[in-house]
Structure 1
Amino acid sequence: MEKEAYFLTDDASIKHYQALMLKVSEYIGAHLANEKAYSGISPEKSQSLAKSLTQGFQGETFDQLLSHYLKPVLAHSVNINSAHSMAHLHCPIMQASLVAEMMISVLNQSMDSWDQSPIATYLEQAMIDLFSAKIYPKHITNADGVFTSGGTQSNLMGLLLARDYYCIDKLKHDITQLGLPPEASKFRILCTEYTHFSVHKSLMLLGLGREAICTVKVDDKQRMCPIHLAHQIEKLRHEGLLPIGVVATAGGTDFGQIDAVDELSKVASSYDIWLHVDAAVGGALLLSSKHKTRLEGLDQADSVTIDFHKLFFQPISCGAFFCKNKQNIQLLSYHADYLNPEEDAFDALNLVDKSLQTTRRFDALKLFCALKHAGEARFGSWIDHIINMTVKADCLLRESDEFELAYQESIHAEARLNTIVFRYIDHRCSEQALNKINQSVYKNMLLQGNYLIARTKVKGKVYLKFTFMHPEVSFDLIKEAVQAIKEQGQKLVMALREEREHDHTCL
């Protein structure tokens, strides 16, 4: 590359861009080919490196940029495309989606008005219609939705509409004009202790606060109990409070639990309360012929969250919000004369009418390309494989005396999605020692970089977590990871004994 170029303005600059992309792909390829999922660099060293990389911005050639700056960034990033990455709900990326991602970035069109994204507007709407039909097969003509940045934004939209719908329908109060009504302090949202934390954050943003949460008990599989839901609604009403919405979960982040949405919808409907389902993870079951029935009742939800950057294998960000009645989603609409005036010269669709965002990427193209390339049936087989591997890993851990699953007696293999919460145990150790050991196992596994796992807490105890996201994860690989964790645990127990050889706490 002889000449530096900054924009895509002529033949020479376009050729420069093409050559640059080839060179960048070589760097990325080298990173992806590394067997380790992470380099093992510590937080302190990564902070120091980042500080050194940002010293001075005087202008560099692309060769300098790639070799001196981007190469170390790649080297010390987590390789989520590796099946060895089993920590979080971050998925490997489909190649077709990366092609789309390049087009999205180069075109750089915003999805707020038709004149900024002509074909993109209607392609996104077509993808929304496709999934609306899968979620709401009996309400196809009336359902709608919009692409979002992910589950947090989608859950915010669901709770916002629950609040505003209640105010319009029950109080005859228009929040968009008048702000929160005096009764707002009495509003309550019902969910379980396992509901995603974004629900709590959303209530803070909506001016209702965390006090608006009313917790519903769960059954022996961590699913919301419909009987207790009805009890809590009655109790709230008796206390003069106003239950305005229920948040169910289809795929919990720790336990993968899927609430019995069909039963919950009957309770919510009988009390005329908005039902929102957070299916950010479990929404992928829509493409599984084997497990789709686990989402029974989803078509009764007033609104639904789905993240395509989880088990649909799309680059971040790529999520969507769906609503059974498109009239309700119009509560979000606001007309700006410069952008989406009420009298549009083209009479075209402007997606900003139903989005919390103004500037928004053409993320629908990624999902479109992925589905076109792989087909829905293959997607479904990938989901089935991941669940099958999760069940087998569950059995493997149960059979070992050196591991303990959280809620071992109550969480059954048939209730699994793609996560397992477990911990290394040695029955001679105290709970305090076991917490320390498992925290160290998590840390050591990360710094070694061969297998990435996560950690969480259950009833104050430290646990480890597998999150299987890769369609090509094998049982042999899982067994290797389990063995590595076991060896780490054994070493830590031995070290703890030596450290406390005169203390019987861990003996």
Structure 2
Amino acid sequence: MNNNQMPAGDILGASLPHISGNFGNIFHSDNYDHYRSAVKETLDLVGTFLHRNDKPFSGIEAKEMKGMVQQIDLNQKLSSYQELLQEVDTIYVKHATAFHLPQYVAHLNCPIVIPALAGEILVSAINSSQDTYDQSAGGTFMERKLIDWTAEQLGYSAETSDGVFTAGGSQSNLMGLVMMRDCFSQKRYNHNIKLDGLPQEAGRFRIFVSDKSHFSNLKNASIMGLGEKCIVKVPTDERFCMDISLLKKYIKREEQLGNIPIGIVATAGTTDFGNVDPLEDIANIAEQYNIWMHVDAAYGCALLLSEKYRHLLNGIERADSVTIDYHKSFFQPISSSAFIVKNKRELRILKHHADYLNPAEMDEEEIPAQINKSIIQSTRRFDALKLWFTLRMMGKEQLSEYTDTVIDLTKDVASMINENADFELLSDTDLSVLVFRYIRTDIEDLNALNQYIKMKLFYSGEVLVASTKVDGNFYLKFTFLNPITTTEDVHQILNKIKAHGEDFSTAN
């Protein structure tokens, strides 16, 4: 080594500025030991959460939980991470819902995979913002690569499609409806809503959804200034999928009333029943009327991973746009979602320029800006990195195995319920949701019976199931997203339901 040269480590150390003053909590090379220690102690609490919990919920009542949190004085700082973690354990971790346990069969909360959690460390620590290239660099192209990959799974061309990661399915659905509205106005009336606001005809715009579609359609229509009246709910068939014959009738009826169909939202995996609307038939009708087709596949996107069940999404490749929720069906931590559009030129309708972010003169090919595709987020986390970690460590095939396992389990459980005279199954499912109720011939009010069962399970914390109402009647609901769950686990859950159901008369 030349006498004038320094070892590589010394060169690196010499090139870094050192922090002076009371800034030991800033994420910086000088404070790495502090960061590492804090993460290690927090990781120990995560381990406690995993090993301590043998049921999905503590059963604590909201009133008690509120009182525990309210007594904390946020103006008084704590003296150590040990003290902090003890406090957080008391008011949060001990009572946090354990989605990873097989006794959790309630909502669309998936267990998460370890590679994604590893990615989360980098996402939070480096804290890139995905709105512009100068804040993200490689993250920009990694996100775009994952959007292209997802588009290919849908059957789109990566060359002509595009999209962006979002905060969740409701936001993606909002983007779908905005695109539907604005593209229709541009093509039909040469009217630019972004510049000129809603056209006079907007009060007569109509969007068709099934009566089992996600509630975000109504909220989004309100946000867009169209009002909930623009959402036309089409009745469903015996499997709770959009009735195609009625869709045609409803479109004709609205036209006869002087209203203007602008698009259809198909649901690929309803929240309550997990069934997929007839996508090919809906695509035919959308093409016939030359209107936009958006598919809400926030839940059903799991089928993209499966060779065994992928056919249930046939026709999705004909949609103009699709909602994807990786944090429902790709085993990702919240949040991780995307909005995908078939024709990337359509996304230009969302673009706004800001001189400090994406000035109009900037060459998008040379310096890409993801903010051009985002509707309501400027600063945006690099959530795509978690999916990148997952695919690179696990591959599509292992994710597919998880998905197939969950769907196969659901089919087995459906048979178990159908064969048990104590239960009534309302419908089969394309995915992994079963709506059912416990029945007793000596009890007239089955709604009260099943409400009682749900609350007893909830406050015992031993099992968490969901519920819904169909035609005014109260039903229990299983949502399976955990490939670890077995038929024996579900058998035990059904026995607990039955045991509480047998106690109903005594308790009432």
* TM-score normalized by the length of structure 2: 0.93
Task: Measure, in 1, the Cα distance between the counterparts of 2:359 and 2:74.
Answer: 46
State the 1:251 CA deviation: 0.4
Task: Measure, in 2, the Cα distance between the counterparts of 1:464 and 1:289.
Answer: 30
Instruction: Give the unaligned 5+ runs of structure 2.
Output: 1-21
Aligned position for 1:478: 490
* Structure 2 counterparts to residues 413-428 of structure 1, below 5 A: 415-428=429-442
Q: Aligned match of 2:379 in 359, 363, 382?
A: 359
Q: Aligned match of 1:215 in 233, 236, 248?
A: 233
Q: Is the 8 A contact 2:217 2:231 kept in 1?
A: no
Aligned position for 2:470: 458
Q: Is the 8 A contact 2:104 2:463 kept in 1?
A: yes
Count residues in correspondence. 484
Aligned position for 1:402: 422
* Structure 2 counterparts to residues 347-386 of structure 1, below 5 A: 347-356=366-375, 357-386=377-406
State the 1:136 CA deviation: 2.8
- For residue 404 of structure 2, give the secondary structure of its aligned residue in structure 1: helix
- For residue 115 of structure 1, give the secondary structure of its aligned residue in structure 2: helix
Q: Give identity over the alignment, percent.
A: 37
Q: Is the 8 A contact 1:136 1:299 kept in 2?
A: yes
Aligned position for 1:29: 47
State the 1:59 CA deviation: 4.4
* RMSD after superposition: 1.5
Per-residue CA deviations over 1:410-457 (Å, capped at 9, x if unaligned) read: x34xx4311111111112222xx3222211211111111121111111
> Which deviates more, 116-125 or 70-79?
70-79
1:75 matches 2:120: no
1:288 matches 2:306: yes
1:110 matches 2:147: no
- For residue 375 of structure 1, give the secondary structure of its aligned residue in structure 2: helix
> Which deviates more, 254-263 or 436-445?
436-445
* Structure 2 counterparts to residues 233-252 of structure 1, below 5 A: 233-252=251-270
Task: Measure, in 1, the Cα distance between the counterparts of 2:231 and 2:416.
Answer: 38
State the 1:4 CA deviation: 9.8
Aligned position for 1:62: 81
> Which deviates more, 68-77 or 419-428?
68-77
Q: Is the 8 A contact 1:187 1:208 kept in 2?
A: yes
Q: Is the 8 A contact 1:4 1:61 kept in 2?
A: no
Per-residue CA deviations over 1:444-484 (Å, capped at 9, x if unaligned) read: 11111121111111111111111111111111101111111
Paired AA for residue 506 in structure 2 = M
Aligned position for 2:120: 101
C-alpha spacing 1:128/1:54, structure 2 compared with 1 (3 Å) = farther
Paired AA for residue 432 in structure 2 = N
Q: Aligned match of 2:500 in 478, 482, 488?
A: 488
Task: Measure, in 1, the Cα distance between the counterparts of 2:57 and 2:144.
Answer: 38
State the 1:215 CA deviation: 2.0
* Structure 2 counterparts to residues 324-335 of structure 1, below 5 A: 324-335=342-353
> Which deviates more, 203-212 or 50-59?
50-59
State the 1:382 CA deviation: 0.7
1:141 matches 2:163: no
1:160 matches 2:178: yes
Paired AA for residue 335 in structure 1 = H
Aligned position for 1:203: 221
Instruction: Give the unaligned 5+ runs of structure 1.
Output: 497-507
State the 1:97 CA deviation: 0.6
Task: Measure, in 2, the Cα distance between the counterparts of 1:309 and 1:366.
Answer: 10
- For residue 240 of structure 1, give the secondary structure of its aligned residue in structure 2: coil
C-alpha spacing 1:5/1:62, structure 2 compared with 1 (3 Å) = farther
Paired AA for residue 135 in structure 1 = L
- For residue 463 of structure 1, give the secondary structure of its aligned residue in structure 2: strand
- For residue 263 of structure 2, give the secondary structure of its aligned residue in structure 1: strand
- For residue 170 of structure 1, give the secondary structure of its aligned residue in structure 2: helix
Task: Measure, in 1, the Cα distance between the counterparts of 2:363 and 2:192.
Answer: 29
State the 1:16 CA deviation: 1.6
Q: Is the 8 A contact 1:127 1:368 kept in 2?
A: yes
State the 1:309 CA deviation: 0.3
Paired AA for residue 80 in structure 1 = F
Aligned position for 1:38: 57
Task: Measure, in 1, the Cα distance between the counterparts of 2:57 and 2:75.
Answer: 28
Task: Measure, in 1, the Cα distance between the counterparts of 2:505 and 2:119.
Answer: 49
